[in-house]
Amino acid sequence: LPTAMLSAQPTGFNYDEAKVPAYTLPDPLVMADGTPVTSADQWPKRREEIMQLFLEEVYGKAPGKPEGLHFKVVEQSDDAVNGKATRKQVRVFFDVDETVAMDILIYLPKKSVEANKPVPTFLTLNFFGNHSISDDPAILLSESWMRSSKEKGVVKNRATEASRGASANRWPVEMIIDRGYGLATIYYGDIDPDFDDGFKNGVHALYDPPAKDGWGSLATWAWGLSRAMDYFETDGEIDAKRVAVFGHSRLGKTSLWAGASDPRFSITISNDSGCGGAALSRRAFGETVARINKSFPHWFCDNYLKYSDNEGACPVDQHQLVALIAPRSVYIASAEDDTWADPRGEFLSAVHAAPVYRLLGTDGIGGATEMPPVNKPIMHTLGYHIRTGKHDVTDFDWNAYMDFADRRWGK
């Protein structure tokens, strides 16, 4: 089972900028055959080359939308969040027989719903069940397998009443509603429980076991986010054209892959995503490919194992993941004390993706080449901040994401 908690700086890894190995990044603007990409109309072809490499070598290939996909509203109320929001809990069934499902908890500002104004919404995954984000007693208590955590009230891999609101500090629901945004969240373990079981449970139960280039858990969670998007497209209260996909840590890796693999996401937000997320692998700073493959062999496709202690051989690096999302907006956030996730490597992904954004006619990251001071967000088509503090999600982070969404969506 994965290590539940890690100290900020596990020993035996490099945290010294002077010891970052010399490396050359694969150029997102040179075709596999060496042809330079100099005009926007060449990009779709180059993008497809990069996409195939990520599918085959990194995250793995997921199936499309399942035929049996269907939705049921299992609970709703127009009196949530101190009377300011509506609440809806939607069960998304992945098969006709209803054997595997995920629940989406959705809060929308009541004002917008009453005025028939579709709501721009943050779509998120959570670590400990929808009921963990708020102490709202009407949230259905998750019955899914969960990583054991005393702190989160999880006993023998199941949530208990003590789990309610256990992660509320990361979820400023009222603040989000007050700013006119919706919040939708899903327990990631509904889609695929986060342990290495040879891909038998969760939605994998409905499919053949993945091949070497088949979907690992990150790709599977991202696939679940796309199924939530399928639901949004049927719900007139949500503005499906203005959805920001957000995730923290392993779920930030997931949101980046969701943004890259599904063009319906208008904004992609990576909070402290680190190795296999926004951080450049070739820097081998903090968490490395070898370490992540060892601790979490089920997150990536099996082909990714080839790059343990061999980052330079990987035909892609993580700036190209950001480039796959271009010209859509991406916000990358780091935390000063989160050296395990390599804040500088996270920033550099945005910098090295920016040429693609500029080729496609946007302002990229506004020409930034140096990291901004702490707590001073940069906001262009690409956004970035490094805030003070540890690996976490704070109100500072959320405020920056909403400022970014205001800009992008012209609110």
* Residues with active-site annotation: 249, 391
Least gap, CB of 118 to ligand GTR (angstroms)? 32
- Rounded distance, CA 61 to CA 81, Å? 39
Residue 209-248 contact track with ligand GTR, rule CB under 6 A, x = bound: ----------------------------------------
Least gap, CB of 279 to ligand GTR (angstroms)? 9
Residue whose CB is less far from ligand GTR, 266 or 271: 271
Angle at 82 between CA 80 and CA 87, to 5 degrees: 10
Q: Which residue blocks in 233-285 are alpha helix, DSSP H?
A: 250-261
The reply on whether position 319 binds ligand GTR by CB under 6 A is no
- Rounded distance, CA 287 to CA 252, Å? 15
The reply on whether position 250 binds ligand GTR by CB under 6 A is yes
Alpha-carbon separation of residue 20 from 17, 23, 342, 352 (angstroms): 5, 9, 11, 17
Residue whose CB is less far from ligand GTR, 4 or 211: 4
CA 134 to chain centre: 20
Residue 63-92 contact track with ligand GTR, rule CB under 6 A, x = bound: ------------------------------
Least gap, CB of 288 to ligand GTR (angstroms)? 10
Least gap, CB of 263 to ligand GTR (angstroms)? 25
Least gap, CB of 11 to ligand GTR (angstroms)? 14
The reply on whether position 321 binds ligand GTR by CB under 6 A is no
Residue 255-274 contact track with ligand GTR, rule CB under 6 A, x = bound: -------------------x
Residue whose CB is less far from ligand GTR, 6 or 205: 6
Question: How many residues line the site for ligand GTR (CB under 6 A)?
Answer: 9
- Rounded distance, CA 267 to CA 90, Å? 23
Tokens of 188: 């990631």
Tokens of 15: 């945290």
Answer for the pair 273, 331: CB distance below 8 angstroms, yes or no: no
Dihedral Cα 385, 390, 396, 398, nearest 10 deg: 90
Which of the residues 272 through 311 are near ligand GTR (CB under 6 A)? 274-275, 287, 292, 295
Out of 89, 249, 268, 271, the only residue in the binding site for ligand GTR (CB under 6 A) is 249
Answer for the pair 225, 123: CB distance below 8 angstroms, yes or no: yes
Beta strand 182-187 pairing with 70-80: unpaired
Least gap, CB of 3 to ligand GTR (angstroms)? 6
HSE-up of residue 238 (Cα within 13 Å, Cβ side): 24
Nearest C-alpha neighbor of 340 from the set 96, 14, 4: 14
Q: Name the residues that contact ligand GTR, by CB under 6 A.
A: 3, 6, 249-250, 274-275, 287, 292, 295
